[in-house]
């Protein structure tokens, strides 16, 4: 049985998880592949760094270049994270024509176009299943399973920390701050949680999915991002009364047909909290789980669900990529499935101001006659219709929440209206706006 020698850079939580999973199921993989994968060397920051699973000391080195440049290492796994040194590591391996397996979504988001181009120039391949949604095989599905489809819509719950927080806020009626503190105590959220709760992690993953689905590289700077800090217990409560729940979504969907002067293809690529109907399957994705809903013009609606993070889910995806890379090496088919093909070079990301959706609005207003009429008049002048209203009764003269659901409007129109509404004397706090996704 042919043996494929593997070098890995990174032996921390994820790296040791991959090594542990390989030691557990390596023989099973060999029986399925007809190939034996063998770890030859593993570069780590320090020999004695804490790691959840032990790695044989004889495999360890602190010199990553010795792993990449070893002529007997046929495949390189990059699991160090970050976008600087990791970029150098991946490029060094690709220049030697070696396939690279990575779980580094930040690296792909920032430098994916460069890395895929380097892979093409040097006849190598770049495998990145573990970069989005952990153990959920969404990358392979988009690259291979849906190769005959135009992907019209993608909606992803791709950050487990945010989903855990929002799930508990809904199910327990808790406030954001207290749930975040508990998530940090349990290890579901980092001590400095901004990457997750401000939407940056979801931005990286959503950009990768958008690029792969639509055939042009999406610059992360063009992705509109909002996190979940502004979502309150009240918002969860009123969303529930209206038949919705709130989830942080990565959204990729085709925009309406463009004007003649605009590019041939435009897509909305956004990350923001959204109200979604309680009847939709994504509304029932709870805790740290991830899910990606994809709609193809041939296949229709599909759903991918599972654990999106953690050493075991990530290890499962890395092992899958290792298997593909090994088969490609053994059969000399490094470009069997290209990592990324730019097949829509004229594509562009829709500016968020032109995106259209219904909206949920929460206003803190003085309960007195005429206030709702003032607000409705401003919305009317901006051509925004109201579909429903919730306001507590019996609080005349006091400040109360006023909840409005609107019909479709552009983001620009809604922001203009809210700026005017916020200047009304009866409005006592900045308006809260959350978009609504009905999956139409």
Our answer to whether residue 311 is catalytic in this structure is no
Q: Quick one: which of 72, 61, 79 has its CA closest to 96?
A: 72
Look at residue 338 and tell me whether its pLDDT is greater than 60.
yes
pLDDT greater than 90 at residue 103: yes
- The confidence score (pLDDT) of residue 347 equals 85
pLDDT at 293 over 60: yes
Q: 140 to each of 143, 209, 294, 304, 355, how far by Cα in Å?
A: 5, 11, 13, 12, 29
Q: What is the CATH T-level fold of the domain 2-139+311-330, as seen in this structure?
A: Rossmann fold (3.40.50)
Q: What pLDDT, on the 0 to 100 scale, is given for residue 15?
A: 95
Neighbours of 287 (CB within 10 A): 12
Q: How confident is the model at residue 308 (pLDDT cuts 50, 70, 90)?
A: confident
Q: Within a 10 A sphere around the Cβ of 420, how many other Cβ atoms?
A: 16
- What pLDDT, in 10s, does the model give residues 380-424? 999 999 999 998 776 666 888 999 999 999 999 999 999 999 999
Which pLDDT value is given to residue 253?
95
pLDDT of the residue at 396 = 63
Distance of CA 104 to the CA centre of its chain: 12
Q: Could you give the angle at which helices 13-33 and 311-330 cross, rounded to 10 degrees? A: 40
What is the per-residue pLDDT for 395?
62
Name the more confident of 240 and 336: 240
Residues 120-155: tens digit of each pLDDT: 899 899 999 999 998 899 999 999 999 999 999 999
Mean pLDDT score of the chain, rounded to an integer?
A: 92
> Closest Cα to residue 318, out of 19, 11, 3?
19
Residue 217 has pLDDT above 70, yes or no: yes
The answer to whether residue 6 scores a pLDDT higher than 90 is yes
Q: Tell me the domain boundaries of the chain.
A: 2-139+311-330, 142-308+346-352, 356-436
Candidate list 98, 105, 170, 205, residue with the active-site label: 205
Q: Which two tokens stand for residue 211?
A: 């690029």
Q: Bridge-partner residues for 248, per DSSP?
A: 273
Decide if pLDDT at 367 tops 70. yes
Contact partners, residue 21, CB within 8 Å, separation at least 6 = 312, 315, 316, 318, 319
- Range 142-308+346-352 has CATH code 3.30.360.10: yes
The long-range contacts involving 148-152, CB below 8 angstroms and separated by at least 24 positions, are: 148/298, 149/296, 149/297, 149/298, 149/299, 150/296, 150/297, 150/298, 151/213, 151/214, 151/252, 151/294, 151/295, 151/296, 152/253, 152/254, 152/295, 152/296, 152/297
Rounded-to-integer distance, Cα 386 and Cα 358, Å:
10
Q: Does residue 168 surpass a pLDDT of 70? A: yes
How much is the CA Rg of the chain, to the nearest whole Å? Answer: 24
> pTM value?
0.91
Task: Please give the Cα distance from 157 to 287 (Å, whole number).
Answer: 11
Q: Please give the CATH topology (third level) of the domain spanning 356-436.
A: Alpha-Beta Plaits (3.30.70)
Give the rounded percent of residues in the chain with a pLDDT score beyond 90: 82
- For 315-327, the pLDDT digits (tens) are 999 999 999 999 9
Would you state the pLDDT for residue 179?
94
How sure is the predictor about 257, in pLDDT bands with cuts at 50, 70 and 90?
low
């Amino acid at each position: 049985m042919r043996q494929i020698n593997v070098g890995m850079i990174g032996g921390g939580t994820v790296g040791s998880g991959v090594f542990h999973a390989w030691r557990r199921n390596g023989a099973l993989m060999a029986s399925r592949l007809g190939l034996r994968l063998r770890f030859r060397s593993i570069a780590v920051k320090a020999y004695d760094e804490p790691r959840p699973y032990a790695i044989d000391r004889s495999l360890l080195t602190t010199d990553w270049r010795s792993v990449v440049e070893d002529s007997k290492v046929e495949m390189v796994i990059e699991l160090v994270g970050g976008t600087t040194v990791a970029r150098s590591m991946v490029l060094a391996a690709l220049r030697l024509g070696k396939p690279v397996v990575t779980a580094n979504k930040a690296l792909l988001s920032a430098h994916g176009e460069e890395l895929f181009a380097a892979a093409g120039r040097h006849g190598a391949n770049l495998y990145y299943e573990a970069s989005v949604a952990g153990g959920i095989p969404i990358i392979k599905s988009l690259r291979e399973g849906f190769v005959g489809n135009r992907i019209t819509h993608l909606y992803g719950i791709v950050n487990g920390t945010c989903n855990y927080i929002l799930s508990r806020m809904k199910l327990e009626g808790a406030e954001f701050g207290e749930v975040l503190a508990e998530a940090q105590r349990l290890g579901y959220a980092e001590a400095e949680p901004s990457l997750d709760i401000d939407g940056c992690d979801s931005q990286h993953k959503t950009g990768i999915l958008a690029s792969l689905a639509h055939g042009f590289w999406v610059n992360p700077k063009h992705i509109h991002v909002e996190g979940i800090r502004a979502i309150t217990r009240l918002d969860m409560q009123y969303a529930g009364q209206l038949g919705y729940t709130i989830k942080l979504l990565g959204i990729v969907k085709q925009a309406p047909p463009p004007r003649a002067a605009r590019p041939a293809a435009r897509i909305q690529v956004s990350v923001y909290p959204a109200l979604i109907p309680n009847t939709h399957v994504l509304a029932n994705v709870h805790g740290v789980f991830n899910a990606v809903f994809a709609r193809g013009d041939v296949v229709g609606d599909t759903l991918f669900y599972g654990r999106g993070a953690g050493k075991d889910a990530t290890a499962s995806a890395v092992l899958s990529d290792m298997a593909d890379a090994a088969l490609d090496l053994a059969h000399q088919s490094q470009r069997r499935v290209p990592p990324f093909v730019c097949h829509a070079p004229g594509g562009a990301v829709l500016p968020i101001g032109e995106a259209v959706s219904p909206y949920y609005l929460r206003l803190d207003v003085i309960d007195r006659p005429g206030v709702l009429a003032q607000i409705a008049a401003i919305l009317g002048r901006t051509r925004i219709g109201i579909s429903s209203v919730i306001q507590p009764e019996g609080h005349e003269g006091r400040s109360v929440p006023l909840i409005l659901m609107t019909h479709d409007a552009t983001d620009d129109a809604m922001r203009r209206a809210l700026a005017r509404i916020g200047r009304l004397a009866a409005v006592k706090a900045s308006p809260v706006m959350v978009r609504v996704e009905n999956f139409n």
